[in-house]
Structure 1
């Protein structure tokens, strides 16, 4: 039975910059098609080329207060969801809106269970000033039971990788179908082979971009471009001070990002236990091999020796530098077509077809 899209809405936490979960939500809304709702948006609007948008206008720059406002808004200000036959929830806070629903047809697309509640709780606590740590604990006490209750009310749970599916099974006690996120193959294309290695990971401690900077500090004849922003930007710039071969661009537009990927020699992506990781797929779509890490979602995307090189999970600086030196321009070039073929497994058409197939199960 074909899935009917006449009365569907996609919810996403918020749109602050270009990132994987937001891109997926916009893709779903445009391709199904469906309406779109979100906590706030800092990107140019409308976010969709068609369809209705609901903005809950819950922006705050204050840590923890922002998260609480979003959770409360989705839990209390989403009665409009009862106008729809099918609701697709994307993010940490949108699932709380299921408590406003009096209808069947609730679908969670889970990028990961909130890591600040589960496997990375200690990490997030340590990042906060000690005065704020009790507030994080209070927020977790508020959110965790509501989130877990919301997941149990879903008729369908979809994970973005087998890695995240295992997290869902472990922490939430339920199973999930796996549908990999989509990559825009038309946007990320080979342009030329430049002379730089590229990192597009958000500048967050879990992404380990500091390890890349340290590696290149000892490789002055190799160029590194860091094309992203985040909480670690100032610290990493200070770390690379005086190194003319390491460049920081800050956040780029979608067009600028595709251009810098399409002209790179290779990319680097070494996060800790990544959920899925769209950056390596975008890299392969542009024919660029990836130096990654053999854990998390990268084990499901990058093929070691064919579309890149995978380091041990607890790699050291010498192993990272050896991989950089091993992925020469000529070797990177030989991987181009294998990368492009591999990326086809993560196309938008494949994603939408698999989502439609899963959503059709709700009608049976």
Structure 2
């Protein structure tokens, strides 16, 4: 008698844009082609080509008018309840892709919940003070926001106990899970499609950023530095901070907006170096740059310390300042001939999609 295939569901916090977390979810979706995808909010226009409407099961928040759905921060108090409403009684396995609320689903005792954690909710934990300070409101409203985040932290710790098995996307995230949830986690690095890149030794004289353009990505540091240096900087991606950065950028800095994977690969392959100014939990784009044979200049904190090898595949700068980034860039340019295309590609291969699938399958089966 053949063994029954476990019925599986996928859960992802939000399907509103295509970023690193959504690339991981796409691999999960391909691994489990019959699994529906549960999410709090869904934007078909932005992600429907990758995650078709027929496969997505959004929460009750999706019924709200679009002008409310677009203001996610105002929906924060509703999100824990919305994720808990979802019914997974028909499934044997639930695989959540989590950086906010999706780990808080409620499952039956015979349903196994495996959480692939991109990070515990950063604006509720390690970024909470900065998040409150950044809100452009009066002190009473800031106090109310701080109180809301306190309540979310209380819920978050309770929700963390519902997970049967945690998988962290890096050592950095494993440490956060241990600190905030007091739970251990297996480490499985995210998948990088290294095969779409063909490393090139001959480079053009421009520097590259591929990123969503939001304040925490610290792209403003790169814009300020390249304004001073006058060197060519190409920025691929969109986001709410883009108009401001365009307003302060010199003519040597180009904002190209969204580009297809094929077009982006060409820029990766031709760039003199890849610039990664922010702190990320893992950071897929530096690995993509190395797969393309392009050295990386990165802020030396977070997941990038597990992927980039200083002096071999790139360099780090030590402080999130323009001066420190400038010193790092000077070091990278001095050592430019030391970065072997073969070494960069070999390092990127360690994070391949094929490796990820095997490790996830093993984790689920165990």
- Scaled by the length of structure 1, what TM-score is found? 0.88
Which among 303, 310, 320 is matched to residue 304 of structure 1?
310
Question: Offset at 1:22?
Answer: 1.2
Structure with larger RCO (C-alpha < 8 A, sep 6+): 1
User: What does residue 344 of structure 2 align with?
Assistant: 339
For residues 182-193 of structure 1, what are the structure 2 equivalents within 5 Å?
Answer: 182-190=191-199, 193=203
Q: 1:51 to 1:285 in 2, by over 3 A?
A: farther
User: What does residue 36 of structure 1 align with?
Assistant: 37
For residues 87-102 of structure 1, what are the structure 2 equivalents within 5 Å?
Answer: 87-91=94-98, 92-97=100-105, 99-102=106-109
SS of the residue corresponding to residue 154 of structure 1 reads coil
Question: Cα deviations across residues 283-330 of structure 1 (Å, max 9, x unaligned)?
Answer: 111111100122211110000011111111x25433422433443499
Matched, 1:115 2:156: no
Which among 148, 158, 165 is matched to residue 149 of structure 1?
158
Question: Cα deviations across residues 186-225 of structure 1 (Å, max 9, x unaligned)?
Answer: 23443662321011133233222111111111111x2101
Moved more, 253-262 or 81-90: 253-262
C-alpha distance in 2, partners of 1:14/1:260? 29
User: What does residue 252 of structure 2 align with?
Assistant: 245
Matched, 1:54 2:89: no
- Scaled by the length of structure 2, what TM-score is found? 0.87
For residues 270-289 of structure 1, what are the structure 2 equivalents within 5 Å?
Answer: 270-272=277-279, 274-289=280-295
SS of the residue corresponding to residue 158 of structure 1 reads strand
SS of the residue corresponding to residue 159 of structure 2 reads helix
C-alpha distance in 2, partners of 1:11/1:332? 45
Q: 1:254 to 1:155 in 2, by over 3 A?
A: same
Q: List structure 1 runs of 4+ shifted beyond 6 angstroms.
A: none
Q: 1:185 to 1:238 in 2, by over 3 A?
A: same
Moved more, 159-168 or 259-268: 259-268
Question: Offset at 1:102?
Answer: 4.5
Question: Offset at 1:31?
Answer: 2.1
Alpha carbons 2:315, 2:331 under 8 Å: kept: no
Matched, 1:208 2:218: yes
